[in-house]
Amino acid sequence: MDTVLKNEPWLIEFIQHMSCRPGAYLGGESVTLFQAYLNGAITSRRKLGISVFTPEEEHILVNFEKWMENKFEITDTRGWWGLIQKIDSSDKNIYTFIRLFDEFLEQDAS
């Protein structure tokens, strides 16, 4: 029987810590590496019986993607990280993600 453990928010706090030194956390500065990190974390949490994101975190990610689609008038089937790659195709595009995510959170909070 699978038991889902209590889920504590973790995503925003991780992004805040990672933003200071993304290369140290991800091994590079691309949003692709961040997405790979998240995929690993998601898989691990599922295997441990911990829900992946809190409802608030899921809401933030979904709305962040919609916000970027509207702001830049683009879409991508890969989701928010694919949108970042379309906006900035450089190998340091994690900084574009950080800047846009911060901008989104500020607007979402108001």
Residue 66 in domain: yes
d(CA 52, CA 43): 8
- What pTM did the predictor assign? 0.89
User: For the chain, what is the domain count?
Assistant: 1
Please report which confidence band the pLDDT of residue 2 belongs to, taking 50, 70 and 90 as the band edges. Answer: low
Residue 27 in domain: yes
d(CA 58, CA 73): 22
In the chain, what percentage of residues exceed pLDDT 90? Answer: 84
Please name the helix (run of DSSP H) or strand (run of DSSP E) that holds residue 39, with its range, or none: helix 31-47
Residue 54 in domain: yes
Domain that holds residue 57: 11-109
Residue 4 in domain: no
